[in-house]
Amino acid sequence: TQKERENRNFTGVELGITVGQVNRAVVCTSVIVNQFFIFETHT
């Protein structure tokens, strides 16, 4: 039905947003960890 289709699309959007947030968090964490290791190895 129309409503089911709307719900499925909404879920897809929500999932996309969640995946985007997770990816951003992973990238930020990787950058911080890399900075930390570079700092540690240089001192």
What range does the domain containing 35 cover?
Answer: 1-43
Cα dihedral across residues 29, 31, 37, 39: positive or negative = negative
Extract the tokens encoding 7: 């719900």
Task: Please tell me the total count of domains within the chain.
Answer: 1
In this predicted structure, what is the pLDDT of residue 23?
93
Segment 2-34, tens digit of pLDDT? 888 777 777 778 888 888 999 999 999 999 999
In this predicted structure, what is the pLDDT of residue 42?
67
C-alpha to C-alpha distance for 31 and 39, rounded to whole angstroms: 12
In this predicted structure, what is the pLDDT of residue 15?
82
